[in-house]
Structure 1
Amino acid sequence: MQGIIASIIVGLCTGIGSLPLLLFKKVPIGVKDGLLGFAGGVMVFASSFNLIRPAMQKGSLLCITGGIIAGTLLLTFIEYVVPHTHTNQFNSSKNDALKKTLLLGIAVAIHNTPEGFAVGVGYGSGDVASGLNLALAMGIQNIPEGLVVAASLKEAGASKKKMVLFSFLTGIGEPIAAAIGLVAVGFIENILPFILALTAGAMFYVVSHELIPESHGGGNEMLATYGFILGLILMIIFKCTIGE
């Protein structure tokens, strides 16, 4: 139950990211790029220390490398089946921007799925501290993603109500995936290291293929880089504070 509650909160964080735009007309591109870099740093730390490290303690090198490759190929396949775009590819046409924003929302929803699964597996494996760390990390990184989706919708002319609702909907897959992870972990105990590595591989793919290119697309590479480092530092603080 803790895992489900945590994943629901994590999913809601995507919608929470849209709320600042109810008060402000526009978010500066530098702020968006810095926040996306920050989200990337959070995800890299969470994947490395809360997924890969437990997998290394229980599984073989072949199992772990195979899992990472499988996760990467899985997201590559999803990318091929459901092609989408990045916010920096928008042009001045509102109709085109709206279409691309919908695709961006699909992209966010797609890569929220392995994140939710990771939270479910973390709690389901009995490692509550790892599950909590993952939930914190995913919640933190979902906020800037929700902000980016909402900002793109606002630029496309969507109403505030639709902007907030769509941002919340992009996170709906996380609790569903977490429930699957919670239930599945009891049946996949023997291959749990592989599943942890697979989930980490999927998240590494998201960071490299989605977050980093998107954060550098507005010409604010240094802000994005500093945001990435800040995300790593924040997660180190959380890890040291919460413990193993």
Structure 2
Amino acid sequence: MQEVITGLLLPFLGTVAGSACVFFMKRNLSRGIQRMLTGFAAGVMTAASIWSLIIPAIDMSEDKGKLAFLPAVIGFWCGILFLLLLDTLIPHLHMNAEKAEGVRSRLARTTMMVLAVTLHNIPEGMAVGIVYAGFMSGSSDMTAGGAFALALGIAIQNFPEGAIISMPLHAEGKSKVKAFADGVLSGIVEPIGAALTILFAGLFLPAMPYLLSFAAGAMIYVVVEELIPEMSEGEHSNIGVIMFSVGFTLMMILDVALG
């Protein structure tokens, strides 16, 4: 049980550590650094979606023969549509964007920036929770090492994300303490979402392939809709693609080596 609790808290601790950069770094992150960190996060999330979620979902459905892909396809599309719904309903503002998305609101700009990060932390928490739920159920496709690899990979990419949210908030006028608190708040949905996912996944173990691919679809939505555009915006640069590849490779290594 201790290793499960550690795994659920690890991604959140990554966000906390990253948010704390606001106390030690005097300047806001440059656009180039933001591109690097966003590209890295996109690479980690893409690799995690494939190795930690979609492949296990297909392996769990091998009894369906040639239709083993079906639960993964259905779950993946449900995850895409779920994030599309949240993206449409929740007012939020992406980094360096001028126009907010979601329903119209009178929320402060900084609040909507926090909501944008919180929105894409939801599928990350779900992913960790579902993988640990599979491990706790005794599934041969889910190992403690594989679950820890996913939690560690997301924690690593959450570190720069924490800095990306807290430092711009401080640059926009918030105190360092409040900017740090907002960064931490954006990540608190991950352990909460993971714990709730474990609770409900335990009630629907036969649906595990659908749940795994659901989390994968939600994560891929975030990558394509938010992270890739952010790592490519502005003057042409290949640094985002390079860091995407670094993040993808690192997550792939972690999953294979620890799984």
What TM-score do the two structures reach when normalised by structure 2? Answer: 0.86
- Residue 114 (structure 2) pairs with residue 112 (structure 1): no
Superimposed CA distance per residue, residues 92-135 of structure 1 (whole angstroms, 9 cap, x where no aligned partner): xxxxxx93332121121122122112111111211212211110
Asked whether the 8 Å contact 2:8–2:191 carries over to 1, the reply is yes
Per the alignment, residue 9 of structure 1 pairs with 10
Matches of 2:112 and 2:251, distance apart in 1: 30
Q: State the shift of 1:83 in Å.
A: 3.0
1:182-226 CA-to-partner distances (Å, cap 9, x unmatched) read 222221111110111111000000111111112222436411111
Q: Look up the match of 2:39.
A: 37
Q: Give the residue type in structure 2 aligned to 1:45.
A: A
Bigger mean CA deviation after superposition, 59-68 or 98-107: 98-107
Aligned ranges 1:116-155 → 2 under 5 Å: 116-126=125-135, 127=142, 128-155=144-171
Residue 177 of structure 1, aligned match among 193, 202, 205: 193
Please, which of 96, 101, 121 is the counterpart of residue 88 of structure 1?
Answer: 96
Identity of aligned residues (%): 36
Is 1:56 equivalent to 2:58 in the alignment?
yes
CA contact (8 A) 2:10 2:152 kept: no
Q: Distance in 1 between matches of 2:98 and 2:42?
A: 21
The structural deviation recorded for 1:12 is 2.4
CA RMSD of aligned residues (A): 1.8
C-alpha contact 1:33 1:220 (8 A) present in aligned 2: no
**Paired amino acid for 1:23:** F
AA aligned to 2:5 is: I
In 2, are the aligned partners of 1:8 and 1:175 still within 8 Å (CA)? yes
The one-letter amino acid paired with 1:39 is A
Structure 1 equivalent of residue 64 of structure 2: none
CA shift for structure 1 position 18: 2.1
Give yes or no for contact 1:14–1:171 (8 Å, CA) kept in 2: yes
In structure 2, what is the Cα distance between the partners aligned to 1:236 and 1:50?
9
Mark the runs of 5 or more structure 1 residues left unpaired by the alignment. 92-97
| Partner-residue secondary structure (3-state), 2:92 | coil
Query: 1:157, CA displacement in angstroms?
Result: 1.1
1: CA distance, partners of 2:47 / 2:35: 19
User: Where in structure 2 are there 5+ consecutive unaligned residues?
Assistant: 62-67, 100-106, 136-141
Per-residue CA shift, 1:122-165, capped at 9, x if unaligned?
11211212211110121111112111111220221111111111
